[in-house]
Amino acid sequence: MTPHSTAPSAERRSREARRRLSGSAITTGTWVLAFIFFAPVIWLVMTAFKQESVAASNPPVFFFVPTFDQFAAVLGNGAGSYFLNSLIATGVSTVFVILLAVPASYALSIRPVKKTQDVLFFFISTKMLPVVAVIMPIYVIAGQIKALDNIWTLVVLYTAMNLPIAVWMMRSFFQEVPAEVLEAAAMDGAGLIKTLRTILMPMVTPGLAATALICVIFAWNEFFFALNLTAANAATVPVFLVSQMTSEGLFLAKLSAASVLASLPVVIAGWVAQKQLVRGLSMGAVK
């Protein structure tokens, strides 16, 4: 074997070694960053299973006997009604958003009309208005029509809050449908409703799931409207979390348990819909 034949081989092995080393370094760095960002969540869950004396200890205690006392205390403190209100406001508003966003996004993508861009800008411009700027007129109107501390007031507001985002998202998913599919449906005599229900909807199901999940997250986490427009009857989970911070002191373990319970519905929903969510969020990324 000549020196000329061994040199390229050694150089190739050196490049492969550097590439493997670089890949290992990137993988290690990614795991370290993921742990740093996820560490507060791990600490939150750990604190939820501690006694208050252990949770408030300094230095922190990492090894302890877990207990469910804090979860029992949270559930025994009337948390059920708050969770029920959040489930109703989130679920019903998300259904309304999907029912309104699908035909609107279809009209703005598959069957565009004049001034479509103006309509889209009008939709998204409503998200540019600070919530604090509209809370006073909303509060006055809700008070005049006897709609304060009413769960259906939150349903209407959450629907209006999430509808612009849903329209924009669903429009991008509808635009990914090949025009040939619609032409074939028209040639087969399929009408507007049948095309939308039997052809388009199955094709954009991943995008629909992603849109619905984002609406659920935004509605479930909404705090400002719930805090200012509700009291005893229609308060939601974020308001309940704030109520755990009393003048008697900040009970870390109990507050952590309440936070874990408040996060579970969204985490479960994301876990159930993760396959459709990934597909939906990646639609259009690869042609």
Q: 158 Cβ partners below 8 Å, 6+ apart?
A: 89, 90, 93, 218, 219, 222, 225
Which residue type occupies 47? T
Check residue 96 and give its pLDDT. 96
Judging by beta carbons within 10 Å of its beta carbon (0-12, 13-18, 19+), is residue 163 exposed, middle or buried?
A: buried
CA 211/CA 215 separation, integer angstroms? 6
Angle of helix 252-272 relative to helix 79-109, nearest 10 degrees, comes to 30
pTM over 0.85: no
Q: H-type helices in the chain, by residue range? A: 3-48, 52-55, 69-75, 79-109, 116-125, 131-144, 151-174, 179-187, 192-194, 201-203, 205-221, 224-229, 237-243, 252-272, 274-282
Per the CB < 8 A criterion, the answer to whether 155 and 89 are in contact is yes
Check residue 220 and give its pLDDT. 94
Check residue 8 and give its pLDDT. 61
Check residue 287 and give its pLDDT. 39
Check residue 89 and give its pLDDT. 95
Show pLDDT as tens, one digit a residue, over the chain (287 residues): 455 555 567 777 777 777 777 778 888 888 888 888 888 888 888 888 888 888 888 888 888 888 888 888 888 888 889 999 999 999 999 999 999 998 888 888 776 667 777 777 777 777 787 888 889 999 999 999 998 999 999 999 999 999 988 988 888 888 777 777 777 777 777 777 777 777 777 788 888 888 898 899 999 999 999 999 998 888 999 999 888 777 666 688 888 899 999 998 888 887 877 766 665 555 544 43
Instruction: Please give the structure tokens belonging to residue 59.
Output: 């230095």
Check residue 6 and give its pLDDT. 55
Check residue 249 and give its pLDDT. 64
CA 159/CA 227 separation, integer angstroms? 17
Check residue 208 and give its pLDDT. 87
Check residue 158 and give its pLDDT. 95
